[in-house]
Structure 1
Amino acid sequence: MGWAYWRKVIFFFSISALSGAGLVAVGTYGEGFAKDDDKSPIYLVGMSLAMVAVLGTFVENHLAERARTKARERAIKAETELALLCATVLPKVAAHIRAQASRQTALNPPPPGAAPDPTMTTEFDSLVRTVLEASVNLTIPPVTPLSPARARSAYYELDSAGDFQRVDFYPPNAAPPRQVIPGTGTGGTHIRTEILDPGQLWVVDGTTSRISHLLPTSANSYTTVIAAPVVDGTRQFGMLAVDASEPERFAAEHLRLIEALATLLVAGRVPITP
């Protein structure tokens, strides 16, 4: 809604206001007439002003409703396009990027025992933060930047000891998820057997049959988890987890979105793996 729209609204609002003020003035002026005086001109002027006031109000409301309709249409179109992006475009793009990264690494394997390039490690850390922000802001973003987090994301990486170390989480004002998930503990076994080994999503929907070992040990408001494996064939790197306060906050396309974001982490992780 640009200046042209607001100019029309102000114009018709002014007409309605002036017409209403004119009606009051005509009524006040008409009270000064004698009983037998001809009041038809006053009636005619009053009726004309009333019609102008009603017409101005109608046009003003019509413009406002048309603007609301356009806003709703734009919102629906944007939501549809985002769902299409999450369900079709992004997963395919992420898969192609991962395939390219895997092929490049296969053609140019790093020397045995070579340390990761520090520059690529820094770039991967930035990628992790971008993915974590996207997984929250594209699913259940905070109402405002300072509002309490309605969703939380975290990336856990499998270390050489077999434990899962938290690399980063988002948003910063959320309750931090646990720092380490021991690989020999219940949580680590759960991640391996239910997420990494089958290479598939794990969805906790709040029912007792879908228990999550990813939640912190302390009380919190997160009861729903979508965990995506970060794997490339037999190479297991870690897990991307996004949790929310209730299952209803996640939509079907969010599953594909989180899975695609995890695939992007694979593409970023492959080249820096010795």
Structure 2
Amino acid sequence: MYPPITYLTDCSDTNAQARLTTRMAALFGRSPVVLPLDGPAPLESAGLTLLDVLLSTRLLGEDGFATVTLVNVAPRDGRWPNGAPFGWFRYGRHTVFTTYDPVLLDPVRRHLGVTSVSVTDAPAVLTAAEWAAIDEADAAGLATTQFRSLWYLPLLAKWVLDDRPVPFSPVELPAPERPDGVRVALVDNFGNCKLTRTAADLGLQAGDRVAVGSSKVRYHERLSDVPVGTAALVTGSSGPGFLELVVNGGSAAAEFGLRAGDDVTLQG
């Protein structure tokens, strides 16, 4: 029996979800929960969501069960021959199979102490997979397909969970090559902007006024402290207490013209 599987992916239209869930069911005997990573900044959204997924496995009040999470965000941006490679890491009893990307993985590096990923080369893995009934021509197609999140990533997950001798290279996680400022990691369904820093990171105390662009808002520890219709910074529910820019009863994203991936200048 395999652990429950959650699949986060930017290949999330109905056709893709149908193929992913059916293939995973055929491999694991159960369909995963497939969740979309849509929006303008899927790497940031995936990074925060992965952090929150793993944090949600803590403080259960009991031992709980192991889980498996698959993460796919692999744009063809020229940095890799066929998109970023896939690898895996473990966090306690939980296993994550993911696109290797320093931006995506920076939240778990910073806040969970994940220091390295077992990165794979798809052609090498498929060549070494003598246990699999996949001929040479099909293996070549699996390694080079546009839809590796369907054809390769589920196989990688199953083979690692089955303790197959999958070849890999341990790769240390570096800090991403981008300015270490405050950004919008994700905009939730209420229009709240989940940011990438905490109040402690910025030295904020409850009641402080903070400039956000041309506006000034107060920092409150809880959303319930914010008057209805008022914009504010609050300690949100994501990560280790990341800040959220909110409008109580409205949309901060709409009011401030923000979306995932945007830089936010905060000045006390």
Task: State the TM bucket, normalised to the shorter chain.
Answer: under 0.3
The TM-score, its normalising length taken from structure 2, stands at 0.25
When Rg is computed on C-alpha atoms for both structures, the one with the higher figure is: 1
More strand by share: 2
More helix by share: 1
